Structure 1
Amino acid sequence: MGALPHAAWHCVHVYYHAPDKDGLLLDAVRPLFREIRAHVEAAYVLRHWRQGPHLRLNVRTDRQTWEGFVRPRIDQVIGDYLRRHPSTTVLDQRESLAWHRLLAIREQERGPLTPWHPDNSIRDAPFDPRGHVLGGDAAVELLTTFYSDSTPLLFAMLDHARAGRDSKRDLAVNLLLTAAYAGRPLAEGLASCRAHAEAYITWSADPGGTLAAFDREYRLRRTRLVQRVRHVLRTLDGTAPGPHERGTQEAAAFVREWAALLARYARRPEVPAPRPPSSRPLPRPVTRAGDAALDYTYLHLERLGLTSLQRFSALYQVARAAGAVAAAAAAGEEYVPEERAGHGSWGWGT
């Protein structure tokens, strides 16, 4: 639907303490969004933690449509799912409070942390534009539009993972490598991946332990990661067959779709300008013209349900595996296993 007069953002929080929210997203939120699509300007969903784990349904429409149609349908569609598939997870608010206090500082989150709202409940809430973090109305408009435009892909990716065609970790590799490759030399994008992973490791409570854990995961998955990186790069270069073309290996999942979406946003004049990294208390991708694709991809992985640790681990895996592929290509060789290739103190690029 086009622009509506007097349209504004409206928000509902759906509290669901069960860790797996994919069923709620695919079997309740997705059909709801399909139903309201013709009546609203935009809609998207986020995962959040404050006052208990929940989904935030954000819908832009006029007040009459919201009150007369959209809000009642939320109660009916989402409420029916909650009655049929209630969360039965029991969480201890006191155990979560220390972590939530830290998250509130790191994410510059405003608002109360307690009390938690009841599990399996639906509550109206003010829309949170996060302008104090994003830096202004233009950045808010850009991100909310991106969230809305990427929501169909979000549902498709969740469906893809639920069907067992790829894990979310594998999809993360596809998307992060696509973002690193978007509109700039791959080496520059991989440098951003490395910088973000290094920053996360440095800021972690146990930098040595975090690096060791990331390295163990890379070594366990190395062969598959290198194969996946090559597959993604062939897809981006146009040498992998399309879905209706004959070939030994079809295009890597969602790579072309994600690249096309990022390219659309790279052409927008309001892509946020640089901000100093020190403006964020925890290292996260810095929103600037060159890194906007990686920043938005990181936020999309959060919507997919990957934890902060999983997201930064994926950045590390991408940088390591893509570095190995690039080094082998520069030497005119096939990829050489790390035991034979040797590596530096962190093994970047091998």
Structure 2
Amino acid sequence: MTETPWRTVNVFHHEHDRTGLLLDAVRPFIARVAPSVQRVYFQPHWRRGPHVRIPIQASPEVFDEVVAPAVAGVLEPYLRAHPSTVVLDEGAAHAQHVRLAAQECERGLLTPWAPNNTVETEPHDRREHVLGSPAAADLLADYYVDTNDLVFDVLDWIRGGGSKMALAVDLFIAAANRFLPPVTYGYMSYRGHADAFLAKMPDGLRERFDGIYEANAETFRQRVVEITGAADHHEVVPFSALLDTLLRYRNQADGLIGTGELALDTDPNGEPEDWGSSWSAWSDRSPFHRALGSHRPAADQLGGWNTFKQYRVVLNWLYLAMNRIGIGELERNLICHVVSRAVEDVHGVTAMSRIEDLIGFVDSGGRL
């Protein structure tokens, strides 16, 4: 049986804030086509210029009879009525895009950019070379589809004055405490992600991140105390239904992890690699990764621990949801950093002490 094909409608719109585009064009577009197609969702993207990518699984007939008219009737009129006037420097962005393409194993041309305020249709890359299998690609697509409405609700809330950064801080704290409790364990992934990012960035960024934390430290620490101390985090974290959705998909992903159909560690060619095996390229700038990466028994135990694998899926897919509300790589790693510092301040722990505890546990014969 031939699978229904995927294509993506790419809406190139160079404004940094695309909330209006998402709510007033992408949302009604999805509402119009969803009853007729198998799957449809959206995700912001950067390749060949900033745009909103709308992957659609539909037969060629449905694409021609339903999707194409919706492009002409919803998306293109919005671009004419609300054109992006931002002028971006394609050449200046190229080095960053080369880095992102390598980091994300993104295939396809980086240049030339598509013109601003245009719509293009192309075959959709389901990224099976990264995810590991068609089943994993299907599961991720289902997650995106299932969270369409919730993400649009969040965007409505943001347009009404809600802070996407404050929301993300709350969700990150709640996720760490719920999925790898207590928070003094779960937060370690945020510390690792932030430190890996900072190790690859120019000097001075950590100081900027620290300055933001220190200017708001009391608020961040208070959120750690309130969220982790709540009997039910749903009562103190807005839109925490996202975490319930992540729980369902974590449980489904676990089956694919067990069969090897969901890949968590692949090289740029899509081949499996050991967790942490690539850290040596930059770990001289991250004591966290240098300490853990240099003790392969501890790194291998942690990387092979099934509970940790499940947690990695939760965080990866939480980050994807945050990207949909406008939190990109820089903002996400800032949030990882401030949440980590808040947890460390509230509980009197450090990342290095946690790593030393793990190494001591493994050296004494312990197993996760």
TM-score by length of 1: 0.82
Secondary structure of the equivalent of 1:293?
helix
* Structure 2 residue ranges without an equivalent (≥5): 266-274, 284-302, 355-368
Deviation sequence 1:100-153 (CA, Å, 0-9, x none): 222222222221111111111111111011122222223212212111112211
Could you tell me how far apart the structure 2 residues matched to 1:345 and 1:238 are?
A: 27
Aligned to 1:244: none
Secondary structure of the equivalent of 1:182?
helix
Aligned to 2:329, which of 274, 284, 308?
308
8 Å CA contact retained: 1:182, 1:262: no
8 Å CA contact retained: 1:231, 1:240: no
1:291 aligns with 2:288: no
Taking structure 1 as reference, are residues 46 and 96 closer, same or farther at Cα in structure 2, changes over 3 Å only? Answer: same
Deviation at 1:240, TM superposition (A): 6.8
* Structure 1 residue ranges without an equivalent (≥5): 242-250, 328-342
Aligned to 2:202, which of 201, 205, 215?
205
Taking structure 1 as reference, are residues 155 and 192 closer, same or farther at Cα in structure 2, changes over 3 Å only? Answer: same
8 Å CA contact retained: 1:17, 1:91: yes
Q: Which amino acid is the alignment partner of residue 317 of structure 1?
A: V
Deviation at 1:37, TM superposition (A): 2.3
Aligned to 2:249: 265
Could you tell me how far apart the structure 1 residues matched to 2:177 and 2:57 are?
A: 32
8 Å CA contact retained: 2:173, 2:339: yes
Taking structure 1 as reference, are residues 9 and 234 closer, same or farther at Cα in structure 2, changes over 3 Å only? Answer: farther
Aligned to 1:48: 45
8 Å CA contact retained: 1:16, 1:55: yes
8 Å CA contact retained: 1:179, 1:262: no
Aligned to 2:99: 102
Q: Which amino acid is the alignment partner of residue 197 of structure 1?
A: A
Aligned to 2:31: 34
Query: CA RMSD of the aligned region, Å?
Result: 2.7
Could you tell me how far apart the structure 2 residues matched to 1:266 and 1:101 are?
A: 31
Q: Which amino acid is the alignment partner of residue 148 of structure 2?
A: T
How many equivalent residue pairs? 314
Q: Which amino acid is the alignment partner of residue 148 of structure 1?
A: V
Taking structure 1 as reference, are residues 172 and 270 closer, same or farther at Cα in structure 2, changes over 3 Å only? Answer: same
Could you tell me how far apart the structure 2 residues matched to 1:47 and 1:168 are?
A: 16
Could you tell me how far apart the structure 2 residues matched to 1:312 and 1:103 are?
A: 15
8 Å CA contact retained: 2:131, 2:264: no
Deviation at 1:277, TM superposition (A): 3.5
Deviation at 1:324, TM superposition (A): 3.1
Deviation sequence 1:207-262 (CA, Å, 0-9, x none): xx222111111111111112223343355x31775xxxxxxxxx32112x022111
Deviation sequence 1:57-83 (CA, Å, 0-9, x none): 111222221211122112210111111
Could you tell me how far apart the structure 2 residues matched to 1:153 and 1:347 are?
A: 38
1:252 aligns with 2:237: yes
Secondary structure of the equivalent of 1:291?
helix
Aligned to 1:120: 117
TM-score by length of 2: 0.78
Deviation sequence 1:76-96 (CA, Å, 0-9, x none): 101111111011111122222
Q: Which amino acid is the alignment partner of residue 225 of structure 1?
A: F
Taking structure 1 as reference, are residues 274 and 70 closer, same or farther at Cα in structure 2, changes over 3 Å only? Answer: closer
Taking structure 1 as reference, are residues 200 and 152 closer, same or farther at Cα in structure 2, changes over 3 Å only? Answer: same
Could you tell me how far apart the structure 1 residues matched to 2:135 and 2:79 are?
A: 36
Q: Which amino acid is the alignment partner of residue 248 of structure 2?
A: R
Aligned to 1:221: 216
Deviation sequence 1:271-326 (CA, Å, 0-9, x none): 5365324469899xx99323211111112222221221110010111122233334
Counting helix residues as a fraction of each chain, which structure ranks higher?
A: 2
Q: Which amino acid is the alignment partner of residue 184 of structure 1?
A: L
8 Å CA contact retained: 2:191, 2:340: yes
Aligned to 2:171: 175
Could you tell me how far apart the structure 2 residues matched to 1:214 and 1:297 are?
A: 21
Aligned to 1:330: none
1:137 aligns with 2:134: yes
Aligned to 2:232: 238
8 Å CA contact retained: 1:12, 1:124: yes
The runs of 4+ residues in structure 1 deviating greater than 6 Å are 279-283, 343-348
Aligned to 1:76, which of 73, 77, 83?
73
